[in-house]
Structure formats: structure tokens, C-alpha cells
Structure 1
Amino acid sequence: MAIKGKNTDPFADDYVPATPITRLKEGRWPLVAGVSAITCGAVFYDVPVLFSVASGLLLAGATAYVPRKARMRKRVTSGPRAIPRMWPGTGMKVTADALANPCFIADGRGIIRYVNKAAAKNHAGVKPGDPLSFSLRAPSLLEAFDRVCVSASPERIVWMEKVPTEAWYEAHLSPIYLPGSSGAAERGDVPDFVLVVINDLTEQRRLERMRTDFVANASHELRTPLASLTGFIETLQGPAKEDDAARERFLNIMLEQAGRMRRLIDDILSLSRVELKAHVRPDTPVDLGEVVRHTVDSLGPLARELEVAIEVHFSGGLAEVKGDRDELIEVVENLIENALKYGSAGKRVDVRIEAEKGPGDGISSWGLHVTDYGEGIPPEHLPRLTERFYRVDVDSSRVMRGTGLGLAIVKHILTRHRARLEIVSSPGKGATFSVRFPPD
């Protein structure tokens, strides 16, 4: 007897047909107990032997021929219809693990039934047995899942997440109906499973944005030096063709403008590379003290040229943070170089590395502070200092060969490292740029 329709028991309709032999096998223990009781009655209570034999035969016949409910029969454990309805089979799991992209298998109720290796690595909070909405909180994805369960048609969606950094994802959702199940797409039944495959589009989108931003920034910032170069070349080809003094002066200006173009291109490319990796937090241990010492040594010639002393305040030891060494060198170099150039009136720059205490007596995190004693920064400029090409004083920035991208690069590198940049300044009292790294 086959039980039709949906059932929480995945083998509810797969049973061995009932025969007298199978019924005797299934009821052998009650039969043995009954025969034993009849034998005891014949031996100890003088029950007639003929009556005892007849009772045993009657009991055996009842066991072999009287029908019982189907739930008492032995279930089939092999064959084409022995397919689990509520959990993915081994073949489906192996196939999901072979996919390079994160993949989830959920049932028609939205409960996650399997998570492949890539998904377990990239989405650590996702666990089988939890509702899909517990771990993947993108509303558009959950809405698409509901539509797939109702329409039994595949869907593709793209969405963006802004926390902790901007990231773009694409998901393909497909309904699965297992062979032999009572559900069918033609009747609009709820699928046995829904396959959710997620593709990370963040790098692709950042590449597209990088190309767009590079063209926009390059065309805007390179226009001035290119116009200067063109004008000087035309002058040297015309009125100043035979003027040696003018030629020498113009060639020096052209060399300076070409250097400005090179610095702009280098900074734009550096910013684009940092933005491309902004969603990937580095996890390599880096000694912050060694980074500071290396940077101070490399900026020594500039400090001597500007007649500014760099003083490093650090008790020594190991100031370890998780990060990318080259990028952290770029951060420290930008901060100290800005302090040297724009705070040179104070004749001193202090660089401090301080341990920040956490709960108990241990070190929770590290902080880097770069302080100059120059003219300071008016408060109305502080919120915009990390914008691209923003300059407090355009003329002084050009004199100091600044591109307006240094602090923008610092901000994006620190965002990737999950660190914070704080700026404290007031006119006439210098400025302090503080970097606070997160606890490991």
C-alpha cells in the first residue's frame, strides 16, 4: 500500500509487499511468546495437548494472514525510489562542493540544507538548519527566493552591500525537483530544493569604477600642465626660438610641469589600486615601529632640506598590527611628508606610537600620531581634507608639489585595514593626525 502526497517521512510510500512469510518474520517474537505461554499451560496446568496444539496453530495463522497497518512493514532501503525528500543526496553535495562559487541548497521552506566549501569559507555564519534569512540578509535575494518557490522558474539578481565596505554580488536561484517526488514544476508545486549560487562582482565593479575615475581625474587634473607644456613649446618654436635665456627658463618650467604630471598619474594609479582591494582586509602581521623607522629614514633628506627635525617617541618592542607593509609605509610617508611640508614653520614633527589598553592589563590596539607645530588648519576645512584633489591652499600645495591625493590615499588604505583617521587642528597651533588600528 503506497501513501501518496507530501510526507515528512522521505520513504513514506516505499514498502515491501505483505506476504504470509514476511508477516511471520515480522511477528516472530510475539508468536514465540504466545507459543511459550501455551506450552507452559500444557505442562504446569494440565491443559489438554490437543487444545494447546490447536491454539498454537490458530496463533500462527493469525500472524501470517491477518493484515496489519502499513507503517509496521519494513521500508525499502534500495531502489530508484529510495530518494530523500528533505535532505540533499550525496551526489548533489559532491556537485555543490565542486563549484568554485559559494553555493547554498535550501528546501522550499527557506531552510538551509547544505553549504558548499566555498560558501562555508566566505560566509562563516551560514549553517545548515538555519533559515536563509538568518545569514543572507539581502532583501532582494530573499524576495527572489520566494518568487522561485512560487513560479518554479530560475532567477538572477544583482545587489550591493555597503557594510563594512561597498560590495556587489550576483545570485542565480534555480528550483530543483527530485525524481520520484510528488512535487512537479508543471503543477506549480513548491520545489524540493532551491539552489542558490552567489558570484562576487566587487572586483569587476571596482575595475569599471577605476577606469571611469581615472579618465575623469586625469582629464581634469592633467589639463593645466598639458596646457602649460603646449604653450611653452609653441613659444620656443616661435618668438623665443633664438632666445637662449628664455629657452633655458621655459625648459625648466616644462620639466617641472612634466614632473607634476608624473606625480599625478602615480597618485591616481596608487589610489585606484587601493580602491580595488578595499573589500579585502589584510591579515599579515606588521611591525608598526619598523615601518615608522624606515619611513623616517627615507624622509631624512626632505627634513634636512626644510630644516625640520623629526622626533620619534616609542618605547621600543614589538608594535604588531595586521596589515599590508607597503600600504602602511605609504600611509606613514604621506602623513609625515604633509607635516614636514605644511608644518615646517614649527621646525619640529613628533611621531608617536602608543599602545591602547583593552579590558584587563593587555594591549588592545595601537595608535600612530603625527603632530606638527605649524600654522594649523582652519576648522571649516577639516571635514573635507580626505576628498580627492581638495586643497586648503592651492598655491602653497603647488609650491610644495602636492597633488591633492595624499590624504585620499591614506583614507582608502586605512578603510581597507579597518582603521580610523582622526584629525585635530586649530589655526596657529599645528595639527595632529592620528591613526587608530582595530584590535586583532
Structure 2
Amino acid sequence: MPLPVSEVIAALPHPALAIGRDEQIIAINEAAQKLLGTPAQGRHFITILRQPSVVEAVERVMAGSARAVAQYLTIERGNDVTYEVNASRIDSAGVVIASFQDVTHVAAAGQMRRDFVANVSHELRTPLTALTGFIETLQGPARDDTAARDRFLDIMSKEAGRMNRLVGDLLSLSRVEAEERVRPTELCDLTAILGTTIRNLNPLAVEADVRLRPDLPDAAVTLIGDTDQLLQVFTNLIENAIKYGGSGKNVHISLAQHDRIDALRAPGVVVSVRDEGPGIDAQHLPRLTERFYRADSHRSRALGGTGLGLAIVKHILNRHRGRLRVSSTVGEGTEFKVLLPIG
């Protein structure tokens, strides 16, 4: 014996409702009632669904279409939520079933891809436009102007370098995202990694008139990790501290081992990189690891930043089950802390 429509609707895992021939809602499950918020049983579907695209989808099915799809937009706990509404007809019962599936993550992923492409295009367009303009000038008005040619070639070299860094960071980001769910297996020495990073960046610090102040243990601090990726993390953080900390200032680098780190719920290590620069306004801190987000876009571009470094750091630390913590006081400096589990 066929089950009543109300029992079928009640058994569905997603929000769902049934609309009878008289266009009244004849059955609705608890999830749909919670989503729509208004008592719906026995009411005309237009007064409950309200959104024109959803109403039109139901009307198309009532008019004879086998199936129609629409989007239902709402807000839950202060966040925008997107549902895909599938309306289909049961001819034998003369009933239209409308089911709601949460596709917010799909919509968000699509928007993220569109934003990423738009950002990459913007970041590449600026140096490409500059290069094209200088090439045209060198081929025309400045053909025989030695001073202008040398000046333009210097700028072109910097713009080409900027594009090269951007492409390199994009490739690096792609690699670390691909490996993010693959746990590292090698044993590495964090003390040695930090020592190598400091030696590699010391010439940059000297050139910028910045003093690196390491406070590292004499003994090895070992953990399971990817040596090259961790080297990339600390190179990025210390290089940023040198660039943005300011001339004549110090960059403090420390490594400490802890029996338990609450954020990791396990024993681990904390690596701190602290500068004495102008600091970062609190409103920017939560977004620093977003792709292409810059707290000071003009200064970042002037210093050769691509806006991808901290996004790469975030993905590498995710792979290592680590955390990144940022604190800053305007006028006093910024501290980046890397938390990594041991074992």
C-alpha cells in the first residue's frame, strides 16, 4: 500500500514540502518548517515560499514540466545561505514536491574561484601594462634617449621580477594545497631550520639596516615535518618582518618547547617572529592569510609583495596540524607565532 505523502516528506533528510492540486501545502517536514519559519501546513505555497524564482519553479511544474530548479536565499546565524530547490511532480497523486539542499559551500567555492581569477588577472595586468607602455616608448619617442632607456629598462626589470615572483608564488600555493592532506613523514630539526633561515636572510637584513636577534636553544628540537616547507614558512615570516619592521629596528626570533599547547591539545613548539615596526591595525589581522589580502597594499607592492605569502604559510601549517597566531600593537610592532605539535 502506498505511503501517505506526509510520511514520505517527513522521512526525507533535507527540508521538503508537498503542494496539492489546490496549491495548498499539504505536507512539510520539520527541517523545512524550521527553514521557512512560518507555519505552512494548509497555506498557499506563494505566501510561504515568497521568493519569485522559487515560486516560478513550482508554477512551471504545476503547469506540466517534469522538474524545475531554483535558488532559495536566506540568512542563518548572520551568514548568507544558498539552497537549491528541486521541484518535481508526482502525476499519480497530483502533488508537487519541493526539496531544499544547502549548496552554500558550492556557491562559495565558485565565488572563490572567480575572485581568485580576477585577482590574478589584476595583479598581472598592472606590470604587463607598464611593460607594454615602456616598450612602445622605447620603440618610439625614447629610441635615442640613453638616459630614458636606462631608466625604463630598470623599471621594466623590476616589473618583470614582480611577475616572476607572482607566478612562482602561484605555483607554490598550488603545490602546498595539493599536499595539504598528506601528512609529513620525515623527522626534521627545527633549530637547524631556523638557523639556516636566519643565515640566508642576514644579507637582506644588513641591506635594510635591520638586526636579527635569535633566541634559539643549543640542542636540536625535532618533530615530524617537511623541512623544505617549514623553511619556506620561516623565510616568509622573517623576510616580512625585515621588510615591514623598519630601518634601524630589530627582529626577534625565538623557539620554545612546551609540554602542552592548549590550541593544539598536545605538546609542541612555539616559534615567534616579532618586529618593532609600525604594527597592523586590528581590523586587518583576521584576513592576513587570505589570498591577495594586504593590510597596506601600496607599501606591499612597493616592497615586491605578491599577497600570497601568508596564504602559503597557512596551508603549510594546516598540513603540519599547526596554527598561526598574529598579534600587533600599532606603533610598537607585530608578532607572528607558529604553533607546531611534536609527535
Question: How high is the TM-score relative to the length of structure 2?
Answer: 0.64
- Which residue of 1 is the match for residue 137 of structure 2? 235
Alignment of 1:134-145 (within 5 A): none
**CA distance, structure 2, for counterparts of residue 407 and residue 283 of structure 1:** 24
Q: Structure 1 or 2: larger strand share? A: 2
**CA distance, structure 1, for counterparts of residue 199 and residue 247 of structure 2:** 21
Tell me if structure 1 keeps the 8 A contact 2:211–2:248.
Answer: no
Tell me if structure 2 keeps the 8 A contact 1:345–1:373.
Answer: no
**CA distance, structure 2, for counterparts of residue 230 and residue 327 of structure 1:** 36
- Decide whether aligned partners of structure 1 residues 358 and 242 sit closer, same or farther in structure 2, where only a CA change above 3 A counts: closer
**CA distance, structure 2, for counterparts of residue 291 and residue 283 of structure 1:** 16
Alignment of 1:305-324 (within 5 A): 305-324=207-226
1:339 pairs, out of 232, 241, 246, with 241
- Decide whether aligned partners of structure 1 residues 271 and 340 sit closer, same or farther in structure 2, where only a CA change above 3 A counts: same
Q: Which string of whole-angstrom CA distances, capped at 9 and with x for unpartnered residues, describes residues 215-234 of structure 1?
A: 55532311100000001111
Q: Secondary structure, in 3 states, of the residue corresponding to 1:396?
A: helix
Deviation at 1:209, TM superposition (A): 12
Deviation at 1:211, TM superposition (A): 9.7
* 2:341 maps to 1:438: yes
Work out the number of aligned pairs and report it. 232
Deviation at 1:241, TM superposition (A): 1.5
**CA distance, structure 2, for counterparts of residue 382 and residue 292 of structure 1:** 24
Deviation at 1:358, TM superposition (A): 3.3
- Which residue of 1 is the match for residue 274 of structure 2? 371
**CA distance, structure 1, for counterparts of residue 149 and residue 127 of structure 2:** 18
Per mean C-alpha deviation after superposition, the further-off stretch among 413-422 and 340-349 is 340-349
- Which residue of 2 is the match for residue 253 of structure 1? 155
* 2:121 maps to 1:219: yes
Tell me if structure 2 keeps the 8 A contact 1:420–1:437.
Answer: yes
- Decide whether aligned partners of structure 1 residues 352 and 272 sit closer, same or farther in structure 2, where only a CA change above 3 A counts: same
* 2:213 maps to 1:350: no
Q: Which string of whole-angstrom CA distances, capped at 9 and with x for unpartnered residues, describes residues 45-71 of structure 1?
A: xxxxxxxxxxxxxxxxxxxxxxxxxxx
Tell me if structure 1 keeps the 8 A contact 2:224–2:342.
Answer: no
- Decide whether aligned partners of structure 1 residues 437 and 336 sit closer, same or farther in structure 2, where only a CA change above 3 A counts: same
**CA distance, structure 2, for counterparts of residue 367 and residue 283 of structure 1:** 20
1:420 pairs, out of 323, 328, 334, with 323
**CA distance, structure 1, for counterparts of residue 260 and residue 302 of structure 2:** 44
Alignment of 1:161-176 (within 5 A): none
Tell me if structure 1 keeps the 8 A contact 2:208–2:247.
Answer: no
**CA distance, structure 2, for counterparts of residue 340 and residue 309 of structure 1:** 9
- Decide whether aligned partners of structure 1 residues 212 and 277 sit closer, same or farther in structure 2, where only a CA change above 3 A counts: farther
Q: Secondary structure, in 3 states, of the residue corresponding to 1:437?
A: strand
**CA distance, structure 1, for counterparts of residue 117 and residue 260 of structure 2:** 45
Deviation at 1:438, TM superposition (A): 2.1
Q: Which string of whole-angstrom CA distances, capped at 9 and with x for unpartnered residues, describes residues 198-218 of structure 1?
A: xxxxxxxxxx99998885553
**CA distance, structure 1, for counterparts of residue 339 and residue 232 of structure 2:** 16
Alignment of 1:6-85 (within 5 A): none
* 2:300 maps to 1:397: yes
- Name the amino acid aligned to 1:240: A
Tell me if structure 2 keeps the 8 A contact 1:351–1:368.
Answer: yes
- Which residue of 1 is the match for residue 193 of structure 2? 291
**CA distance, structure 2, for counterparts of residue 209 and residue 323 of structure 1:** 33
Q: Secondary structure, in 3 states, of the residue corresponding to 1:316?
A: coil
- Name the amino acid aligned to 1:348: N
- Name the amino acid aligned to 2:300: S
- Name the amino acid aligned to 2:329: S
Tell me if structure 1 keeps the 8 A contact 2:191–2:217.
Answer: no
**CA distance, structure 2, for counterparts of residue 250 and residue 381 of structure 1:** 35
Higher RCO (CA-CA < 8 Å; seq separation 6+): 2
Q: Which runs of 4+ in 1 moved over 2 A?
A: 208-220
Q: Which consecutive residues of structure 1, in runs of 5 or more, have no partner in the other structure?
A: 1-138, 141-207
**CA distance, structure 2, for counterparts of residue 210 and residue 434 of structure 1:** 27
Tell me if structure 2 keeps the 8 A contact 1:414–1:420.
Answer: yes
Alignment of 1:192-211 (within 5 A): none
Tell me if structure 2 keeps the 8 A contact 1:218–1:265.
Answer: no
Q: Which string of whole-angstrom CA distances, capped at 9 and with x for unpartnered residues, describes residues 47-106 of structure 1?
A: xxxxxxxxxxxxxxxxxxxxxxxxxxxxxxxxxxxxxxxxxxxxxxxxxxxxxxxxxxxx
**CA distance, structure 1, for counterparts of residue 325 and residue 113 of structure 2:** 30
Q: CA RMSD in A?
A: 2.4
* 2:166 maps to 1:264: yes
Deviation at 1:412, TM superposition (A): 0.8
Q: Secondary structure, in 3 states, of the residue corresponding to 1:295?
A: helix
- Which residue of 1 is the match for residue 41 of structure 2? none
Question: How high is the TM-score relative to the length of structure 1?
Answer: 0.50
Q: Which consecutive residues of structure 2, in runs of 5 or more, have no partner in the other structure?
A: 1-12, 15-109
2:312 pairs, out of 403, 409, 413, with 409
**CA distance, structure 2, for counterparts of residue 285 and residue 390 of structure 1:** 33
Q: Which string of whole-angstrom CA distances, capped at 9 and with x for unpartnered residues, describes residues 250-278 of structure 1?
A: 11111110000000000111011000111
- Decide whether aligned partners of structure 1 residues 213 and 291 sit closer, same or farther in structure 2, where only a CA change above 3 A counts: farther
Tell me if structure 2 keeps the 8 A contact 1:241–1:247.
Answer: yes
Q: Secondary structure, in 3 states, of the residue corresponding to 2:341?
A: coil
Deviation at 1:321, TM superposition (A): 1.7
Identity %: 53
**CA distance, structure 2, for counterparts of residue 394 and residue 382 of structure 1:** 14
Deviation at 1:315, TM superposition (A): 2.4
